Amino acid sequence: MREQQQRAIPQGNELQAQPIQSENQLKSDGKAHGSHICHPHEDTEGHNNHEHKHKHEHHRHAHSSTKRQITLIAVTAVLLAAAVLIERYCALQTWQLLLVYLVPYLLIGTGTLKEAAEGIASGNIFNEHFLMSLATIGALCIGFLPGAETEFPEAVFVMLFFAVGELFESYAEGRSRDSISHLMEIRPDTAEVERGGQTRTVTPEEVSIGEVIVVRPGGKIPLDGTVIEGSSSLNTVALTGESLPRDVEKGDDVASGCINLSGVLRIRTTKTFGESTVSKIIRLVENADSRKSRSESFITRFARIYTPIVVSAALLLAFVPPLLSGNGFSGFSASFATWLHRALIFLVVSCPCALVISVPLTFFGGLGGASRRGILIKGSSFMDSLANVGTVVFDKTGTLTRGEFAVEAVHPENLTEHELLHLAAHVEHFSTHPIGEALRAAFPNEATDGCSVTDVEEIAGQGIRANVEGRTVCVGNARMMEAVGAAWHDCHRTGTIIHVAVEGQYAGHIVINDRVKEDSAEAIAALRRLGVGDTVMLTGDREETARDVASRLGIGSYRAGLLPADKVRCLEELLAAKPRGTSLAFVGDGINDAPVLKRADVGIAMGGLGSDAAIEAADVVLMDDRPTKIATAVSTSRRTLRIARQNVWLAIGIKAAILLLAAIGLGTLWLAVFADVGVTVLAVLNAMRALRVPTH
């Protein structure tokens, strides 16, 4: 069992930076919990600079430490083989043979013995180093008992195999840590800011809101802001997990952490570094291990109680049966060696390393694998909820749809589609309404074709009337058509219907709708394949619009015309009606759905890139706008929990079998070593599978 350290757990969803720990503390925590992610970046500027200056040095140190450990294991194995040959071919007394085996034992075991001594000195006695030390020292001493065989090779091999297990564990932990700490690479070290007519290189923390920064090709955007000059493509893979670049130009908002691929950008900052997207994401990742899953919490509590019981039981096993054997001291001494040997086997087998290490490591790997796909889960406790999802409730606008109006269909009467769009776009030239923007976007040449537009008049509740090239054109709803006497007719398409009349004659209509995201239907289908049978859509939109979107996407049920308070009420009803043992997930855009995101068993925010509300309110943040990531998050959580359960049953099953063999005298210390370190290695290797995120 690794050293268990207490850490403060932030309340709610607060994303507060935790104090920086020493390298030894990180190592201890990583092995105890399997999940200390990375160093916070919001202590002091001096620490930040120091940390980044020595980042590569730390990587080199870790690599050289691994090489030293491998070398040490190899040398110890050679010395152990030599000691076995000396024992076989040289007639040595027991104490002389002990000296021969002490050379490889101390070479490989000094670190473990030191850790055990430090644990005893600090009051943390019952850790795995203490168990290994106690078992191996007992094995070295057992050969001096009357009638007992020496266990010197076994003692050295326990330490050797233990070192091999730690090497595998360290490698797996490093892989898991790297899978999440790659997000730390999005943190920029410097920013080029324009001051006094010159460009100065400063730390991002020194840049204020409203200042202009310059980002050159290949550079990271250091702070959130708005492009005021230039155009480029941005690599957002570290934030969203998507490899497709995002094009930006003047007027577009950009998030910190993206990499500029092509043109030079001048950006006016809109947030300080501490409030930027990259800082919020880093704090989220740092705190992801604060909320443990039920499995991890159980293992932590279990280990604290279990280890003292194991040591006490081993002592009883060593002394009680010989004392009860009769014949006084002679009977005790005759059977003590046998029972001490069984107690040592019991001690080694009972060490809960495989559970204490592999279960947290599994969840850590799952969190890291998800983060590489742009899915940020705020703690392994939410993996429990995701894995048991039986009902998924969706907001519509911004979640399943883009929240952007676009022309969906054009139905002219006596004009061509091009002519109808041409007239409507010109009439809506000065409109700031989303409908006007959609019409202009559908006819992009409207501003440059030279048509004359005069006498523009907006009629409240009806639409806009204007003179286009000498003709009176009315663009609006049915009330406007009736007002001008145009014989309009109904449309069977769902959406916003814009009618057009020219000189009082009906010219046709245009259907405008909120665009459904390309992969929304696939997201619903993927959830259904995972067995999530209940999908619901909540929206404030009209009944006919909600019905159309639900039918097109295959959503099971919907509720329309809802105010924010109505959504909470509906969610309460769905929570009460959900099947027992399942959880309910709500998926929203994180801006106006905060109350519902909080109330759900697990809140999932879409499009967290640049959205403060999404990062703050939700339990899971999808960094892009792809609804299919919801199914990925669910399948990743289920797979992670499945691997954790496999490790639990693997460890318990093998240990129970070997303990049974030991109880009837068939167990050996070699089997005990496999039951402890061997099972730990197998469990750690199995835990590494959680790093791979399944695709759909």
pLDDT digits (tens, 9 = 90+) for 230-283: 998 888 766 665 556 788 889 988 888 888 988 899 999 999 888 877 777 666
Residues 279 and 343 in one domain: no
Q: How far apart are CA 81 and CA 105, in angstroms?
A: 12
Higher pLDDT, 535 or 25: 535
DSSP H helices, 215-374, are 237-240, 277-286, 294-323, 328-350, 353-372
> What pLDDT sits at residue 372?
80
- 4-23 in b/e burial notation, b at 16+ Cβ within 10 A? beeeeeeeebebebbeebee
Q: How far apart are CA 637 and CA 458, in angstroms?
A: 54
Looking up tokens 């009944």 gives: 543
Domain of 432: which CATH number? 3.40.1110.10
Residues 471 and 424 in one domain: yes
Is position 627 within any domain?
no
> Sheet harboring 602-605: ordered strands across?
375-377, 620-622, 602-605, 583-588, 389-395, 534-538, 557-559
Q: How far apart are CA 573 and CA 575, in angstroms?
A: 5
Report the share of the chain in percent with pLDDT over 90. 21
> In the predicted model, is pLDDT for residue 355 greater than 90?
no
> What pLDDT sits at residue 34?
35
CB 607 within 8 A of CB 625: yes
Paired strand residues for 388: none
Looking at residue 349, its amino acid is V
Is position 374 within any domain?
no
Residues 485 and 495 in one domain: yes
Burial of 680 (0-12, 13-18, 19+ CB in 10 A): buried
Most confident of 208-217, 249-258, 453-462, 644-653: 208-217
Looking at residue 525, its amino acid is A
> What pLDDT sits at residue 2?
37
The pTM (predicted TM-score) of the whole model is: 0.67
> In the predicted model, is pLDDT for residue 182 greater than 70?
no
> In the predicted model, is pLDDT for residue 309 greater than 60?
yes
Is position 572 within any domain?
yes
Residues 390 and 522 in one domain: yes
Which of the following is catalytic: 395, 534, 625, 676? 395
Which residue range(s) make up the domain with 392? 380-400+518-618
**Segment 124-143, tens digit of pLDDT:** 776 677 777 877 787 787 77
> In the predicted model, is pLDDT for residue 650 greater than 70?
yes
Boundary (domain end) residue, out of 516, 533, 564: 516
Q: How far apart are CA 32 and CA 2, in angstroms?
A: 5
Is position 624 within any domain?
no
Q: How much is the average pLDDT of 289-316? A: 67
The Cβ of residue 63 has, within 10 Å, a number of other Cβ atoms equal to 11
Looking at residue 656, its amino acid is A
**Segment 539-593, tens digit of pLDDT:** 887 788 888 889 989 999 999 888 777 888 999 999 999 988 899 999 988 666 7
> In the predicted model, is pLDDT for residue 654 greater than 90?
no
Domain of 252: which CATH number? 2.70.150.10
Q: State the average pLDDT for the chain.
A: 78
> What pLDDT sits at residue 238?
66
| Cα diameter, the chain | 124
> In the predicted model, is pLDDT for residue 379 greater than 60?
yes
- The 3-state DSSP class for residue 421 equals helix
Residue 105 Ramachandran class (φ > 0 left, ψ -120 to 50 alpha, else beta): alpha
Is position 353 within any domain?
yes
Q: Average the pLDDT over each of 271-275, 328-332, 456-460, 550-554 and give the range with the smallest value.
A: 328-332
Is position 2 within any domain?
no
Residues 213 and 230 in one domain: yes
Give the number of domains in the chain.
4
What would the two tokens of residue 246 be? 């995002």
Residues 171 and 84 in one domain: yes
**Segment 186-242, tens digit of pLDDT:** 678 889 999 988 999 999 999 999 999 999 998 889 999 999 999 988 887 666 655
Boundary (domain end) residue, out of 286, 303, 336: 286
Boundary (domain end) residue, out of 488, 516, 544: 516
> In the predicted model, is pLDDT for residue 362 greater than 50?
yes
Cα–Cα distances (Å) from 589 to 59, 252, 435, 539, in that order, read 38, 19, 22, 12
> What pLDDT sits at residue 255?
84
> In the predicted model, is pLDDT for residue 535 greater than 90?
yes
CA 547 to the chain's CA centroid: 34
Is position 696 within any domain?
no
Residues 682 and 541 in one domain: no
What would the two tokens of residue 684 be? 């750690």
Q: How far apart are CA 159 and CA 100, in angstroms?
A: 16
Binned at pLDDT 50, 70 and 90, residue 4 comes out as very low
Burial of 375 (0-12, 13-18, 19+ CB in 10 A): buried
Q: What angle do CA 108, 111, 113 make, to 5 degrees?
A: 100
Residues 578 and 653 in one domain: no
Q: How much is the average pLDDT of 621-647? A: 90
Q: What angle do CA 690, 694, 696 make, to 5 degrees?
A: 165
Q: How much is the average pLDDT of 289-315? A: 67
Q: How much is the average pLDDT of 658-681? A: 73
Contacts of 472 (CB under 8 A, 6+ apart): 465, 466, 502, 503, 504
Residues 575 and 678 in one domain: no
Report the share of the chain in percent with pLDDT over 70. 76
CA dihedral in degrees (53, 58, 63, 67; nearest 10)?
130
What would the two tokens of residue 255 be? 């998030």
Is position 13 within any domain?
no
> What pLDDT sits at residue 696?
55
Q: Is 395 a catalytic residue?
A: yes
> In the predicted model, is pLDDT for residue 95 greater than 70?
yes
Higher pLDDT, 323 or 25: 323
The dihedrals phi and psi of 148, each to the nearest 5 degrees, come to: -95, 145
Q: How much is the average pLDDT of 14-41? A: 34
Binned at pLDDT 50, 70 and 90, residue 106 comes out as very high
> What pLDDT sits at residue 27?
35
Among candidate residues 81, 78, 116, 83, the one with its CA nearest the CA of residue 97: 83
The dihedrals phi and psi of 615, each to the nearest 5 degrees, come to: -65, -35
Residues 28 and 171 in one domain: yes
Higher pLDDT, 612 or 436: 436
Domain of 542: which CATH number? 3.40.50.1000
Q: What angle do CA 693, 518, 234 make, to 5 degrees?
A: 70
Q: DSSP code of 519?
A: T
Residues 213 and 174 in one domain: no
Q: How many CA atoms lie within 13 A of 216 on its CB side?
A: 6
Q: For the chain, how are helix, strand and coil distributed in percent, rounded to 5?
A: 55, 15, 30
Residues 546 and 662 in one domain: no
What would the two tokens of residue 248 be? 């930006």
